[in-house]
A and B are shown apart, each in its own frame.
Chain A
């Protein structure tokens, strides 16, 4: 339990560190979504409940470090958790590469969920171009980062606890 909480805290710290780094780096095209690997690992390697807790905490942290409208990132993350719960018994992550691929696909799913929310809740499409233009580079960057994060999760030794 303590190790899982520490792992989650590390995720929040990593996100804060990313925010500090982004303000100095000229790179604007791709910003990896550092919360996604934690959510995916939680759902597929621990339990859906752990995934939901990770999604809520990390989405909340992301909203603190972003100018997103209230609830938008929480909705996208919880939407991702629900779609992953349904895929849990159908999708098998056997290596770090599959994990990276799933993380990359999850970033795309999150952006689609966010766009659907903007469209249905406010009838706005002004974010569409902006979100879509960044989704692909973001997902590639997240996939790349997920390769290393998988190694970190393995190192923590909290995997395959009640894998279905």
Chain B
């Protein structure tokens, strides 16, 4: 009898979670509210865990640095050689510098509009890509705010609790960003793959795009403002069947190495 009751309860839970997954507003609103209330307690726990974990990470990194110091020395010598060649690319770097300056100018111009946040956690499942930051509702964070670093776009805020917020990173499979190729008319949708790289969708085969092109947010998706750098084109395959090219993008940010981010408040 008790076993039957458990099976019935499990089936009911299964139906409820199915309805939640299919985005039925009545169920979802209540669920999100309940989740938000409970999640309020998670922020302080993550904050408390940040210090020992960061300390441990520092010790490990220091040790690895010591082990790899000889190898690094050799690599640095090789790098000097490469850098001499890189000097020839100064005009290109100047352009990049200008772009970064404009981003910095944005910060100086509207200091209240950018909120600096530290990363305190990461998605527990590797099917999805999100980061948890130490700023929440009490700091003025709201859903759908853009998250950036000086290097480029990180993602958007998808859930806000009192002490922390959840940021969906652009390489999550549920993430899409409208982008255009810098200096060209080509536009497309940068979609997350769950891996390191992104895919640029809906780029026609006769569109002007090639490896090395830089992608910038177009501002036409009503979430991300125009002008945030997203990534660089690393591969264009026009031999694929169909109307569109297969384009791979490498984001400017290494999402595993982020420590701080900037949240653009609206």
Contacts and interface: CB of A to CB of B under 8 A. Distances in A.
Interface residues of A, number: 57
Interface string B98-131: 0000000000000000000001111111111111
A22 B121 contact: yes
A73 B162 CA distance: 23
Given A24-B53, A31-B126, A48-B6, 9 more contacts: A13-B45, A20-B46, A21-B53, A64-B38, A67-B172, A69-B21, A71-B20, A75-B18, A130-B194
For chain B, what secondary structure do more than half of its interface residues adopt (helix, strand, loop), or is it mixed? helix
B195 interface: yes
A18 B124 CA distance: 7
B135 to A, nearest CB: 15
For chain A, what secondary structure do more than half of its interface residues adopt (helix, strand, loop), or is it mixed? helix
A75 B49 contact: no
Interface in A32-53: 33-34, 47-49, 52
Interface string B127-170: 11111100000000000000000000000001100000010100
B173 A23 contact: no
Contact of A19 (B122, B129, B159, B168): B122
A163 B54 CA distance: 42
A60 interface: yes
Contacts, number: 162
Given A19-B132, A56-B13, A68-B125, A117 B18 contact: yes
A20 B13 contact: no
Given A70-B21, A82-B10, A65 B121 contact: yes
B3 interface: yes
B97 interface: no
A71 B168 CA distance: 17
Contacts of A122: 21-22
A109 interface: no
Contacts of B10: 52, 78, 81-82, 85
A20 B56 CA distance: 12
A25 B14 CA distance: 34
Contacts of B39: 64
A17 B168 CA distance: 20
Given A65-B132, A134-B126, A70 B121 contact: no
Interface of A: 13, 15-26, 28-31, 33-34, 47-49, 52, 56, 60, 62-75, 78-79, 81-82, 85, 111, 114, 117, 121-122, 126-127, 129-131, 133-134, 138
B223 interface: no
20 contacts: A19-B46, A22-B124, A23-B119, A23-B120, A23-B131, A23-B132, A28-B256, A49-B6, A56-B13, A66-B125, A67-B130, A67-B168, A70-B23, A74-B16, A79-B14, A85-B10, A114-B127, A121-B22, A122-B22, A126-B173
Contacts of A18: 124
Contacts of B50: 20
Contacts of A70: 20-21, 23, 28, 31-32, 35
Interface of B: 2-3, 5-7, 9-11, 13-14, 16-23, 28, 31-32, 35, 38-39, 42, 45-46, 49-50, 53-54, 56-57, 119-132, 158-159, 166, 168, 172-174, 193-195, 256-257
Contacts of A20: 46, 49-50, 53, 120-121
A109 to B, nearest CB: 14
Contacts of B256: 26, 28
Interface centre among B2, B5, B13, B124 (most CB of A within 10 A): B124
Contact of B9 (A52, A68, A111): A52
A66 B126 CA distance: 9
B127 A130 contact: yes
Contact of A127 (B23, B127, B195): B127
